Amino acid sequence: MLSQALSEAVSKLIREDGRPVEWAVSTGYTPYPAAVAAMEARAAAIAAGEAAELVWLLEHPPLYTAGVSSKDGDLLDAARFPVHRSGRGGQFTYHGPGQRVAYVMLDLNARGRDVRTFVRGLEQWISGALAEFGVPADVREGRVGVWVERKGPGWAREDKIAAIGVKVRKWVSFHGISLNVEPELDHFSGIVPCGITGHGVTSLVDLGVPATMDEADAALKTSFRRVFGDTADGASPVEGRVVMPDAAERPSGRV
């Protein structure tokens, strides 16, 4: 009964008018401040009825972001990458090359006006995309994000493969999700990801799935349509490439 009720609630995330969500993919590495500014502007335009909903896929150069619930003690190496304070929910997370970030700007006025159900929908979206690669994944009580169970001779653990951190203003969402396709997993060691200790971080490639970013994007689109409805091609709010400096030259510290 509970799973049926949840399924019925999530089904309300599909717009009754069938209007598709614009789907855009940026090339290169998008600077975080530019992405936030573009999201803020698009969310405001959606709330005003002046723009269509948008899912925006991109990669960032290596950086850490601190959500509204972040604790300073969870930033273990502040000098490693730039640290950006963010208005999204959640704690510290890492973004960088090989990780697909999807910023989700949806009008929840047309999708049930239920933030909890919206987050459940994001979880189902990610889990469904991973299922396209034969990777079973799920959520865990008290732990944000999407997790996979790993086992070997004499050992078992759960690793995080995707993060969720959103903000809702005037019933329009922004920020979104990140899926680890093939990032440098060592880059997560500068933080306590999402404030959760005792568990690891993984990626599709780390799990033995040699997925490309294009293949991950296709799986994300397929799963998104099942949860949130149809999509249509859209334009990226920000384009252009960031040439990343060598590690020794990268700027560090809080931004």
Which sequence positions are flagged as catalytic?
194
Which two structure tokens, joined as six digits, stand for 36? 């936030």
CA–CA separation, 126 vs 199, rounded Å? 19
Angle between helices 115-131 and 213-228 (to 10 degrees): 140
Pairing of strands 143-152, 99-105: unpaired
In what order do the strands lie in the sheet containing 82-85?
92-95, 63-66, 82-85, 253-254
How many CA within 13 A on the CB side of residue 238? 23
Pairing of strands 231-233, 21-29: parallel
Task: Choose among 52, 11, 17, 22: nearest CA to 231.
Answer: 22
Which two structure tokens, joined as six digits, stand for 51? 């723009």
CB burial of residue 151 (10 Å; 0-12, 13-18, 19+): exposed
CA–CA separation, 228 vs 177, rounded Å? 15
CA–CA separation, 187 vs 107, rounded Å? 34
Which helix or strand (DSSP H or E) is residue 217 part of? helix 213-228
